């Protein structure tokens, strides 16, 4: 019996391999559930009494030797594997990076800003949480003015004066607080209105505001600027039309339509058979607004405009439902990758 164990000890000491499968075989042969070591332990009760201490000692030594051997060989095998490239199969196809895509609203926003940058406008921004003064009062919309109803407002419970801005016109005010004419700025950003969400309107959307103030700015300048914009945005052949309208902060005010065409049935549907689509509000800055900002209306005049970005996105990409733009469905958003 004792000689048996000694023989095994020699065998263990002599075993060498760097093949993980063979090492595992070796481990199972000795240390497996039905392996040699367990067998020898089971045989312990049949060992003559006087041999028992020696037997126990040798058996424990064998057990340790096996464990140590297996650990050593496994580590060595692992190391030689990684020094040969770690089992890396360089012919395997790689994991492709998922390229991000710019959101269509951002693509169009950037294009709009670029078009105005080219004629000397800078870009300015303001906060989405506004106070009454910047969103309404300074824009010639005093409290109880009925035109406040044009834009249903989300108020912020924390403070009776705070609200989510209903338009980017608030940035006009912030800009005039900090800058004196000449002013040429475009202000992109999110706006919020307490409206039912539908295919055509959302409670959150994006606008780009424009403000131009200098000496001798006329309605002709406004028209020419918007025509330039439309041609850059929608193509050389596009036309605009201005319809009289009302905004408290501009006088006179207009709604601006772009000619979309009547060539296809789709054009008919989108434009309700007229070929024209409204894309923005605009007008000459009301003298009251200039006065609120300590700008002398006798000396300076200017124009302002505000357009909804989603409206233009939907036109350019023929997207039928505004909600698609805010669901963040990757399959939808990835389609716009190639556009810019």
CB distance 303 to 212 below 8 Å? yes
Nearer to ligand PHE, 70 or 295 (CB): 295
Nearer to ligand PHE, 63 or 165 (CB): 165
Nearer to ligand PHE, 189 or 306 (CB): 306
- To ligand PHE, the closest distance from the beta carbon of 271 in angstroms equals 20
CB distance 257 to 230 below 8 Å? no
The answer to whether residue 175 forms part of the interface with ligand PHE (CB under 6 A) is: no
The answer to whether residue 302 forms part of the interface with ligand PHE (CB under 6 A) is: no
- To ligand PHE, the closest distance from the beta carbon of 144 in angstroms equals 19
Q: How many residues does the chain have?
A: 340
Count the alpha carbons within 13 Å of 263 in the hemisphere toward its beta carbon: 3
Count residues near ligand PHE (CB under 6 A): 12
- To ligand PHE, the closest distance from the beta carbon of 159 in angstroms equals 23
Residues pairing with 245 in the sheet: 253
The answer to whether residue 261 forms part of the interface with ligand PHE (CB under 6 A) is: no
Q: Which one of 87-95, 174-182, 260-268, 281-289 is the stretch in contact with ligand PHE (CB under 6 A)?
A: 281-289
> Of 250, 271, 292, 301, which lies in the binding site for ligand PHE, with binding defined by CB under 6 A?
250
Residues in 188-227 at the binding interface with ligand PHE, rule: CB under 6 A: 209
The CA distances from residue 220 to 217, 227, 228, 303, in Å, are: 8, 10, 12, 10
- To ligand PHE, the closest distance from the beta carbon of 265 in angstroms equals 30
The answer to whether residue 135 forms part of the interface with ligand PHE (CB under 6 A) is: no
Write out the H or E segment, with its range, that includes residue 251: strand 250-259
The answer to whether residue 167 forms part of the interface with ligand PHE (CB under 6 A) is: yes
- To ligand PHE, the closest distance from the beta carbon of 101 in angstroms equals 28
> Of 121, 205, 305, 336, which lies in the binding site for ligand PHE, with binding defined by CB under 6 A?
305
- Work out whether strand 122-123 and strand 276-285 pair parallel, antiparallel, or are unpaired: unpaired
Helices (H), the chain: 2-14, 20-31, 36-43, 52-83, 104-117, 132-135, 169-178, 219-234, 265-270, 287-292, 309-317, 330-333
**Number of CB atoms found within 10 A of residue 249's CB:** 24
Task: Name the residues that contact ligand PHE, by CB under 6 A.
Answer: 167, 169, 209, 247, 250, 253, 281-283, 304-306
């Amino acid at each position: 019996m004792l000689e048996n164990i000694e023989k095994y000890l020699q065998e263990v000491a002599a075993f060498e391999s760097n093949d993980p499968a063979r090492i595992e075989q070796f481990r199972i042969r000795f240390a497996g559930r039905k392996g040699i070591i367990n067998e020898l332990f089971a045989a312990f009760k049949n060992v003559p009494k006087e041999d028992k201490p020696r037997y126990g000692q040798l058996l424990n030594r064998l057990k340790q030797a096996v464990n140590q051997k297996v650990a050593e060989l496994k580590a060595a095998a692992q190391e030689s594997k990684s020094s040969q490239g770690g089992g890396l199969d360089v012919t395997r196809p790689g994991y492709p990076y998922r390229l991000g895509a710019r959101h269509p609203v951002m693509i169009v926003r950037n294009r709009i800003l670029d078009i105005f940058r080219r004629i000397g406008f800078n870009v300015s921004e303001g906060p989405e949480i506004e106070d009454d003064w910047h969103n309404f009062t300074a824009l010639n919309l005093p409290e109880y003015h009925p035109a406040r109803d044009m834009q249903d407002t989300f108020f912020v419970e924390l403070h009776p004066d705070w609200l989510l801005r209903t338009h980017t016109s608030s940035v006009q005010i912030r800009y005039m607080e900090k800058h004196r004419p000449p002013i040429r700025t475009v202000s992109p950003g999110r706006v919020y209105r307490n409206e039912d969400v539908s295919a055509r309107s959302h409670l959150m959307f994006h606008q780009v505001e424009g403000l131009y103030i200098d000496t001798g700015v006329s309605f002709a300048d406004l028209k020419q600027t918007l025509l330039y914009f439309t041609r850059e945005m929608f193509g050389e052949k596009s036309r605009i039309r201005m319809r009289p309208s009302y905004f408290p902060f501009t006088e006179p005010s207009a709604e601006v339509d772009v000619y979309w065409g009547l060539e296809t049935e789709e054009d008919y549907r989108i434009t309700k058979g007229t070929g024209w689509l409204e894309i923005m509000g605009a007008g000459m800055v009301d003298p009251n607004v200039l006065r609120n900002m300590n700008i002398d209306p006798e000396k300076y005049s200017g124009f302002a405009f505000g357009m909804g970005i989603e409206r233009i996105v939907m036109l350019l990409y023929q997207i039928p439902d505004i909600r698609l733009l805010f669901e963040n469905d990757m399959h939808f958003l990835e389609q716009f990758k190639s556009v810019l």
